Amino acid sequence: MYRVEIYDTTLRDGAQAEDVSFSVEDKLRISQRLDDLGVHYIEGGWPGSNPKDIEFFREIKRLDLKTSKVVAFGSTRRATNRIENDPVTRSLLDAKTEVITIFGKSWDLHISDALRISLKKNLELISDSVSYLKSKKRKVFYDAEHFFDGYRSNPEYAIKTLLSAEAAGADTIILCDTNGGTMPWYVEEVFEKVRNELRCPIGIHAHNDSDMAVANTLVAVRKGASQVHGTINGFGERCGNANLSSIIPDLKFKMNIDCISDEKLRHIKEVSHFVNEIANLPHQKHQPYVGESAFAHKAGVHIDAVGKNPVTYEHIPPELVGNSRRILISDYAGRSSLLKKGEEYNILLEKEGPEVASILHKLKGLESQGYQFEGADGSLELLMKRAIAGHKRSFDLVGFRVIVEKRREDEDPISEATIMVKVGGAVEHTAAVGNGPVNALDNALRKALEKFYPDLADVKLLDYKVRVLAANKGTGSKVRVLIESGDMEGKWGTVGVSENIIEASWQALVDSIEYKLLKGKKKKPEKSC
């Protein structure tokens, strides 16, 4: 089987993305996960560019990496420096990595306008830098920056830059689409020509400015690339880099190419989510393979077919990438959808039973009012279980009041909530403050209930979203509130809808607490009557 090396540059190229910043500890934790995933090379950063990267290359040595080799990244020497005295070259060697990647110019525009040196001098920089690093017993990868633009501008010279690196001993030469504007058919054409000129292995490094980075990478592999560069989740400057979260499964499943083991591939969704968490970014649910929606089914016809044979609407089994099938319930739902969802919730429904028809009627009525259950599985499970005889509420509201008071122009408002609830025969009346009316209400509700249900102390509100459903009524418009809550065992979503944002929030908060209490009850499958 043809083998391709995976070269991850999340810690360097990925960290150049807007809104992404990794501490040294972050980079170490990500490196460990990338090694566990089985990538071959981890580009740690540019050791001469900042103190953080210098510290990373010192600290990474204490990790016992099993699969991955750490790579230091930098440029060819400066035109005004002798190679022995060049600070960039010295910093690359000081990083003490077995592998070094350097980039050089392939586009005559950059040589004349950015470096402002002759084309001949640029070839000297490439040759000197590669040969010197090779003399220091390093494996050297040469990144041909802007290669496709350079080839389009001056193909003969662009090839000369590659031949210069090869003659100096480069172990692999990587063709870079640095501006990200190249189309797949041109990548294919150029790779065919370069393949006939070089004897050393060739790689591909694609940016995503025209949304072609994954396609360009796969086309390059078809034409002989044996090393692919990319980042987890496609992080990168401007529009990002080639997305390894898609490329790795594409190589395995669509091209039958060896890159990482089947067992390690089952962790790619986990790694994708981990990197997002470290970057403090929300996970993109519609990402292929690793997104929450990648194997989610909403239309009743689809759900029915998948139940009979998953191949009807799934291109691979989700378990192969650590994902899982999700059945979404909405106003498109039919009986098959509800039965599948019932199985997921451990609710035994009869296809022709009255509860199914009742739930469907209720569900479609609520969605017509603006409710959405795709991101609110907690509310959906409660709705279904309330349709089954015997399910009782954990508490009843007697009443609540929320006060927002602003005393001075230059002071923040004060929010206070007072609430009275009934649990069994006991009535609890309490108050709490918060940094907003919803937070105050949430605090008061928990304060009232925790003496009866101590496990509620574990619940954290993870996300709170408000969407205006129809803006034609201005501030009187109906809103939908989606709340994501979690504890040490998992996360769940709940929903509320009203013209009053406090009421919509209350509905979602109550469902969140009811779902937590429902989770704590270990029952046998509930059966409809």
Convert the pLDDT of each residue in 213-249 to its tens digit. 999 999 999 999 999 999 999 999 999 999 999 999 9
Residues 344, 265 within the same domain: no
pTM for this model (two decimals): 0.73
Residue 489 included in any domain: no
Residues 256, 381 within the same domain: no
Residues 93, 158 within the same domain: yes
pLDDT above 80: residue 2: no
Reported as a single tens digit per residue, the pLDDT across 75-90 is: 999 999 999 999 999 9
Q: pLDDT at position 328, please?
A: 74
Residues 365, 405 within the same domain: no
CATH code, 182: 3.20.20.70
DSSP string, 364-420: HHHHHTT---TT-HHHHHHHHHHTSTT---S-EEEEEEEEEE--STTS--EEEEEEE
pLDDT above 90: residue 208: yes
CATH code, 420: 3.30.160
Q: pLDDT at position 212, please?
A: 98
Residues 24, 164 within the same domain: yes
Residue 287 included in any domain: no
Residues 55, 164 within the same domain: yes
The stretch 16-25 carries a mean pLDDT of 93
Count of CB atoms situated within 10 Å of the CB of 223: 18
CB-CB contact of 161 with 115 (8 Å): no
Question: Which residues, in sequence order, are bridge partners of residue 230?
Answer: 8
CB-CB contact of 102 with 88 (8 Å): no
Confidence of residue 522 (pLDDT cuts 50, 70, 90): very low
Instruction: Tell me which residue of 207, 201, 200 sits closest to 149, measured CA to CA.
Output: 207
Which residue, 452, 481, 498, sits at the end of a domain?
452
Q: pLDDT at position 391, please?
A: 66
Count of CB atoms situated within 10 Å of the CB of 264: 16
Mean pLDDT of the chain: 90
Question: How many angstroms separate the CA atoms of 190 and 162, rounded?
Answer: 13
Domain, as residue range, for 407: 395-452
Reported as a single tens digit per residue, the pLDDT across 287-334 is: 999 998 999 887 778 877 888 898 999 999 999 999 988 877 665 556
Reported as a single tens digit per residue, the pLDDT across 438-467 is: 999 999 999 999 989 999 999 888 888 888
The stretch 137-158 carries a mean pLDDT of 97
- Number of structural domains (the chain) is 3
Residues 378, 413 within the same domain: no
Reported as a single tens digit per residue, the pLDDT across 98-142 is: 999 999 999 999 999 988 999 999 999 999 999 999 999 999 999
State both tokens at 248.
């790795």
DSSP string, 482-509: EEEEEETTEEEEEEEEESSHHHHHHHHH
Least confident of 133-147, 183-197, 231-245, 388-402: 388-402
Residue that is written with structure tokens 């100096």 in the block: 168
Count of CB atoms situated within 10 Å of the CB of 418: 17
- Where do the DSSP E strands lie in 91-177? 99-105, 139-145, 172-177
Q: Angle at CA 172, nearest 5°, toward 169 and 91?
A: 70
| H or E element at residue 41 | strand 41-45
Side chain identity at residue 359, one-letter code: I
Distance of CA 185 to the CA centre of its chain: 28
Confidence of residue 523 (pLDDT cuts 50, 70, 90): very low
CB-CB contact of 515 with 381 (8 Å): yes
Which residue, 218, 252, 279, sits at the end of a domain?
279
Query: Which is it for the CA torsion 52, 58, 63, 69, positive or negative?
Result: positive
Q: Is 307 exposed, middle or buried (0-12, 13-18, 19+ CB in 10 A)?
A: middle
Residues 91, 226 within the same domain: yes
